[in-house]
A and B are shown apart, each in its own frame.
Chain A
Amino acid sequence: PQLHYPPHFMKGSIIQLSNGELKRVEDLQTDDFVQSAEISSDLKIDSSTVVKIEFNPDHSTAILGFVVGEHKVQVTVEATLEHPFFVFGQGWSSCEPDRSLHRYGLDCQKLSVGDVCISLTHKDVQ
């Protein structure tokens, strides 16, 4: 598979919040995402609970199962082992923190079943 390593996870990357404030990716906090979504006119935050992590070492990926948002939608995604997800109150977390550190220089916690991640959806357009 064609694996994708987004540059914005590289330690030191500059991230702009909704209020215009600039922060380094490694310094982001839960509130930064929550407040940015509140200011945003069309995006809102969903809580996505990790319910499954299936390692796929041949591809350097993992199959992740999430239960997403108030409607508990079941979603399955394939992500690289080093891909950082932002866990409420915990920060950046991945399936293989050592690989995240090596790839991005970004300190990550170990992502585990039961962790609640920040994801986005579009606000209901009235």
Chain B
Amino acid sequence: VPVFPWHALVPFLTNTGPP
């Protein structure tokens, strides 16, 4: 049975740090 990591379910909408 495949197991998926929690962070695969929610999007990355920005990259790191302030603009």
Chain A residues, Cβ within 8 Å of B12? 119-121
Interface size class of A (residues with CB under 8 A): 35 or more
Number of B residues with CB within 8 Å of any CB on chain A: 19
B4-19 residues at the A interface, CB under 8 angstroms: 4-19
Interface of B is mostly: loop
Within the complex, what minimum Cβ distance (angstroms) separates B19 from chain A?
A: 6
Complex CA gap A18/B7 in Å reads 9
Interface residue from B4, B18, B19 paired with A8 (Cβ < 8 Å):
B4
Is B7 in contact with A8, judged by CB distance below 8 angstroms? no
Report which B residues bind A (CB closer than 8 A): 1-19
Report which A residues bind B (CB closer than 8 A): 6-9, 13-18, 22, 25, 28, 32-33, 36, 40, 43, 46, 48, 66, 68-69, 71, 73, 75, 77, 85-86, 117-125
